[in-house]
């Protein structure tokens, strides 16, 4: 793992810590959902970064699945808080 | 969710890609991460997204509960059939080597069919669980 990769992983981790702080101090539920979505996006980036330095080539697939689950769960939770019901 | 344009249009754009990715995980499962179970879950996730955005009634008119149950049983039946073909041709249960003329072809065909059965069953079980969760508050 080269120096620049460690630097990028460190910066993304700091951004994740800021997102977690925003999650704790948020007043509205929508801010919390948005911060969870942000953390998920950063986890996707971390998976891809680890995939560039690893011997295994499957990390891109896993990152795509993680992005998909992140998207669907955000939409479902938002719909639940708007309608108080998932499907109408 | 009629008045939300962005989720509707993004969902319309993204659902074919989700289903295509599910098929990729299904048929490329021998060489990379994946297999029948994961492909079934991804496929069902695409359908659940559709059901969330365009109401449950539209989703049920496409794939109703009886159809889901039938497809679920069909996947299991495919798995068991492949298993018993191995016994009937004089080998063990799920003996892939006897399915075709050479051992390699038999293994390829056996893994393909068994994973297809697993994927069909898992995706329909996931959709059925989603339907069941929606009916909890109503009865």
pLDDT digits (tens, 9 = 90+) for A23-65: 999 888 999 999 999 999 999 999 998 888 777 778 888 899 9
ipTM reported for the complex, 2 dp = 0.81
| Tokens describing residue B66 | 């009886």
The answer to whether the CB atoms of A75 and B134 lie below 8 A apart is no
Query: What radius of gyration do chain B's Cα atoms show?
Result: 18
CA dist., res. B128 & res. A34, Å (int):
29
Asked whether B36 and B114 are in contact (CB, 8 A), the reply is yes
Q: Which residues contact B15 (CB under 8 A, 6 or more apart)?
A: B46, B49, B50
Separation CA B124–CA B73 (nearest Å):
9
* Chain A CB within 8 Å of residue B98 CB: no
Which among B52, B58, B60 is the top mutation candidate for probing chain A, defined by the most A β-carbons within 10 Å of its own β-carbon?
B52
Distances (CA, A) of A56 to A34, B33, B34, B63, B122: 31, 10, 14, 38, 27
Q: For residues B110 and B104, what is the distance between their CA atoms, to the nearest angstrom?
A: 10
Residue B14 pLDDT > 90: yes
Q: Do A64 and B134 touch (CB under 8 A)?
A: no
From B59, which residue of chain A is nearest by alpha-carbon distance? A87
Domain borders along chain B are: 5-134
**pLDDT tens digits, residue range A3-21?**
888 899 899 999 999 999 9
pLDDT at B41: 94
Sequence-separated contacts (24+) of B129-132 with Cβ below 8 Å:
B130/B44, B130/B48, B130/B51, B131/B56, B131/B60, B131/B65, B131/B68
Find the CB nearest B45 among A68, A79, A85.
A68
Contacts of A67 (CB under 8 A, 6+ apart): A40, A41, A44
Kindly report, residue by residue over B108-129, the tens digit of the pLDDT.
Answer: 888 899 999 999 999 999 999 9
Residue A52's CB is within 10 A of a number of other CB atoms, namely 12
Cα of first residue to Cα of last residue in chain A, in angstroms, is: 49
Contacts of B45 in chain A (CB under 8 A): 68-69, 72
Residue B29: DSSP 8-state: T
Please tell me which of the candidates A61, A71, A76 has its beta carbon nearest to residue B34. A61
Tell me whether B122 touches chain A (CB under 8 Å).
no
Q: What is the pTM of this model?
A: 0.86
Q: What is the DSSP letter of B115?
A: H
Find the CB nearest A87 among B33, B42, B55: B55
Q: What are the extents of the domains in chain A?
A: 3-83
A61 in contact with chain B, both atoms CB, cutoff 8 A: yes
pLDDT over 90 at B71, yes or no: yes
Backbone angles phi, psi at B63, to 5 degrees: -135, 95
* pLDDT top residue among A12 and B136: A12
């Amino acid at each position: 793992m080269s120096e620049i990769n460690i630097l990028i992983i460190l910066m993304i981790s700091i951004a994740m810590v800021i997102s977690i702080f925003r999650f704790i101090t948020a007043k509205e539920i929508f801010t919390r959902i948005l911060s969870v979505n942000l953390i998920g996006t950063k986890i996707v980036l971390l998976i891809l970064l680890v995939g560039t330095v690893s011997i295994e080539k499957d990390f891109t697939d896993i990152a795509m699945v993680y992005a998909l689950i992140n998207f669907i769960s955000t939409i479902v939770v938002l719909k639940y808080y708007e309608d108080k019901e998932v499907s109408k | 969710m009629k008045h939300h344009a962005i989720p509707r249009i993004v969902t319309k754009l993204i659902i074919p890609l989700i289903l295509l990715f599910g098929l990729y995980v299904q048929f490329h499962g021998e060489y990379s991460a994946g297999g029948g179970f994961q492909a079934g879950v991804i496929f069902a996730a695409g359908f659940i997204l559709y059901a969330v955005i365009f109401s449950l009634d539209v989703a049920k008119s496409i794939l109703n509960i009886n159809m889901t149950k039938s497809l679920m049983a069909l996947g299991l039946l495919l798995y068991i059939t492949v298993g018993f073909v191995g016994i009937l041709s004089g080998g063990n249960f799920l003996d892939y080597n006897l399915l075709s003329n050479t051992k390699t072809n038999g293994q390829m065909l056996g893994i393909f069919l068994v994973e297809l059965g697993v994927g069909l069953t898992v995706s329909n079980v996931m959709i059925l669980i989603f339907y069941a969760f929606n009916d909890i508050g109503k009865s």
